[in-house]
Chains A and B, each alone.
Chain A
Amino acid sequence: MEIVVCVKPVPESETRLRVSADGTSLDPEAVKFVLAGYDESAVEQALLLKESLPGSKVHAVSFGPAPRTEEVLRAAIALGCDQATWVEAPPGPAPDPVATGRALARPIFAMPHDLVLCGKQAGDDEAGLVAAVLGELLGVPDVGFVVDLRFDVPSGRLRFRRATEGGLELWEAPTPCVIGLQQAWNDPRTAKLPAILKSRRVAIAKVPYAPEDSSAPRSVAEKFELPPPRTGAAMIEYKTPAEAAAKLVRVLREEAKVFP
């Protein structure tokens, strides 16, 4: 199976967020970028499929500026992806998720793709849009919020579960298909040192970014705000547990107005 996995560099989750000078985005200065959390699951899933289906290949694709995008592609290779393609974005604020999907769709369309794996959503913009954009542009179906993906060889269909508000749903799908992955069967593996060293020498295919024409509908970031520092909880003073409970219920009711 020819598997494409889309990986995005995002700030490490412990990163202290700071607002850029113009107030419209995250200040990337001094931020450490890593493979997005759900994308780690997507890579793990791609590698599990590859291991179970002899002759499979995994191609990692990423869209973004230097140097972080190249770094996450090398991380994907160190984990076991066979090939990598980098759509190089100009520095500065990223195009919106729909434009990102368009930028990724062009090279993916040109490569063999039985299965395209994305994360459910990227940990920074949390848009959850790219998988569906890719599906539309590649002319294949897409399903998001997927956990535990498998390929059933006899029927030639993908089988997976989907985590929804109502619980877990069982699904099956033909290939080619785009999947937005929430969780793989296994916890993501970590790369071994020799593989990390080797990944530095692997050639990464570079594809230029062709921006949308400027009249295309798009979303433009206007403001990026951090919440006022939380002042810490108002602590409930009490002598007995019953008093604590009564006071809490009262403030939730009268002050916070969230009591059902």
Chain B
Amino acid sequence: MTPTVLVVGESSGGRLAGASLEAAGTARRLAAGDGEVVGFLAGAGTGAAAAEFARYGVGRVRVVDDARFDAAPAAATAHAAAAAADAVGAKWVVLAGTTFGRDLLGRLATRWNAAAASGVTEVAGDAEGLTVRRPVFGGRATETRRLVGDRAAVALRPHAFPSPAEVPVALAIEAVGAPDIPAALFGPKRTAVETAGAGSGPGLADAAIVVSGGRGLRAPENFRLIDELAASLGAAVGASRAVTDAGWRPASLQVGQTGRAVSPQLYIAVGISGAIQHLVGMVSSRVIVAINSDASAPIFKVADYGIAGDLFEIVPALTAEVRRVRGI
């Protein structure tokens, strides 16, 4: 018997986050057989997100239509999700390991008394529970964990799972009130969002492609070569610490041990030597490309494909080729 699986959705701007669709697809796979998948959403105006759940095969969606959740920390949603999991008799909860999902998971696991794993890149279920694989040590190792006990909750690493195909089903919304949540959990409030700059493409953490530039670019004005290549690919821009320390680009774009860890489908490192502190932030990317004039640069040891050459020649040619192939 496969159990009921609750998939906690995250809606941004009224739409279901892409990573939540990956979670929905994974939940459906885990419930395959005689299990049921139930979607869950909390916040105001989640109708469109619920409809999207149904477009991807999750027709039964439990909704707490309550604007208090919109600017509250994930902790509040975790309480509501735990109540929903109990109400529908779920044994497994699946969610997207975004910043919101990661904050939610520890709270949910404690409140709902479940085993938990975050940053999951593979998950399988059987009669005894869930088994997951997840990168650790900045992607330098992978661990397999068994979630023991009768309840388990997992946060999936964004992009590690395929986006599901559309399988429209009828939408049945179960609107419920918020459970009794301690007022303290609504204490912290988001007061404003400073977006990374309109039109600047996907955020670093959840981009499918990241193009990063390093000291090899020599001067801040040359960094536009990275911006242009990224724009042609619809990619996010990253940087080595040499670049952020020099103030060419903000610290928020730094990839590595003291910056962000990213694991896109494709990581292109341009003029980056490949210091270990940079590598720990990107080695778990699926495919790595390095462009560097020094054929013995350590970055080529971790890259899948390399071009030894002058970035000032290679990058413009690559941008032109990408634009040509993509017809832009």
Contact = CB atoms under 8 A, between A and B. Distances in A.
Interface stretch (B22-30, B172-180, B218-226, B315-323): B315-323
Interface stretch (A52-60, A137-145, A196-204): A137-145
Secondary structure at the A interface, as helix, strand, loop or mixed, is mixed
B78 A132 contact: yes
A80 to B, nearest CB: 20
A244 B291 CA distance: 11
A235 B295 contact: yes
Interface in A142-178: 142-145, 161-174, 177
Interface string A72-84: 0000000000000
B1 interface: no
Nearest to A40: B258
Contact of A168 (B103, B131, B252, B308): B252
B272 interface: no
Contacts of A218: 115, 147-149
Contacts of A248: 289, 305, 307, 318, 321
Interface stretch (A61-69, A109-117, A220-228): A220-228
B35 interface: no
A174 B184 CA distance: 9
Interface centre among B146, B187, B277 (most CB of A within 10 A): B187
A226 B143 CA distance: 9
B48 interface: no
B106 A235 contact: no
Contact of B276 (A14, A165, A180): A14
A258 interface: yes
Interface residues of A, number: 85
B322 to A, nearest CB: 6
Given A132-B103, A241-B309, A219 B148 contact: yes
Contacts of A215: 149
Contact of A170 (B192, B300, B302): B192
27 contacts: A98-B116, A130-B106, A131-B106, A132-B105, A132-B106, A141-B188, A142-B75, A142-B103, A143-B188, A144-B99, A145-B102, A164-B203, A170-B193, A171-B189, A173-B188, A217-B114, A219-B148, A226-B141, A233-B301, A240-B317, A241-B316, A242-B320, A245-B322, A246-B321, A248-B289, A252-B287, A258-B286
